[in-house]
Amino acid sequence: MTVKQLSMPELVDACLELGVPGVGLWREPVQSHGVEETAKLVRDAGLAVTTLCRGGFFTAIDPAERATALDDNRRAIDEAATLGTDTLVLVSGGLPAGSKDLHGARERIADALGVLGPYAEQHGVRLAIEPLHPMYTADRCVVSTLAQALDLAERFPAHQVGVTVDTYHIWWDDNAPAQIARAGAGGRIHTFQLADWTTPLPEGVLNGRGQ
């Protein structure tokens, strides 16, 4: 996984030193270093890019904002293909300002997946919906459980849309083991992230500690 404190060349060197064969990358440092340049750097080092994070943010109500989000996600799919990864992790987006309509927000996610799934397939990329801990529902992700993520993903072919299983975000859910089994049986687990949950929560809790 991308390490905030390291440049892209430093990250590659660290992976080689530690014997890590693959790395999941975030879009921001990739764009900062250059997508083509990052692809060459990683490829020349013999590393695999396991995932690209993140696309998503599909919940806007305004048509212009929704079109902008779709365009950005097409770029993310293009970037994933250039990097040689087959998985784009999606953080779906929070509630629009002033809205409490969770169902409507999730339906807009489904609408976006219907547009992007075929485009991703054409580029050899799968979309992986990541449920985030409920504390992020308002401003970051209205998909809070693996069941909700699968309910969305299962509207589409498994080779287009699946899920990200991240233990940091779903450990609290008693239903998570059954939903992991459901995802596995359907071929929907596109990436699995192991992370701890330690307390007290640090500043910037999305990053966790000791991942």
Count CB neighbours of 177 within 10 A: 11
Q: Which domains does the chain have, with CATH numbers?
A: 8-207 (3.20.20.150)
* pLDDT attached to residue 198: 82
Give me the helix-helix angle, 176-185 and 146-153, nearest 10°: 20
* pLDDT attached to residue 42: 98
Q: How confident is the model at residue 3 (pLDDT cuts 50, 70, 90)?
A: confident
Match 């799919």 to its residue by tokens.
Answer: 77
For residue 202, pLDDT beyond 80: no
Q: Report which of 96, 99, 86, 93 is spatially closest to residue 70, judged by C-alpha positions.
A: 93
Q: Lowest-pLDDT range, 2-11, 22-31, 37-46? A: 2-11
pLDDT per position as a tens digit, 95-111: 999 999 999 999 999 99
pLDDT per position as a tens digit, 51-95: 999 999 999 999 999 999 999 999 999 999 999 999 999 999 999
d(CA 3, CA 182): 32
**Amino acid symbol at 36:** E
* pLDDT attached to residue 154: 99
pLDDT per position as a tens digit, 105-164: 999 999 999 999 999 999 999 999 999 999 999 999 999 999 999 999 999 999 999 999
For residues 200 and 36, the model is more confident at 36
For residues 85 and 201, the model is more confident at 85
For residues 145 and 194, the model is more confident at 145
* pLDDT attached to residue 206: 56
Q: How confident is the model at residue 209 (pLDDT cuts 50, 70, 90)?
A: very low
Q: How confident is the model at residue 4 (pLDDT cuts 50, 70, 90)?
A: confident
Contact (Cβ atoms closer than 8 angstroms) between residue 94 and residue 137: yes
Which long-range contacts (C-beta less than 8 Å, at least 24 apart) are formed by 94-101? 94/59, 94/136, 94/137, 94/138, 94/139, 94/140, 94/141, 94/142, 95/59, 95/137, 95/138, 95/139, 95/142, 96/59, 96/60, 96/61, 99/61
For residue 210, pLDDT beyond 80: no
C-alpha distances in angstroms, 33 versus 10, 39, 78, 147?
Answer: 12, 10, 16, 36
3-class DSSP state for residue 79? helix
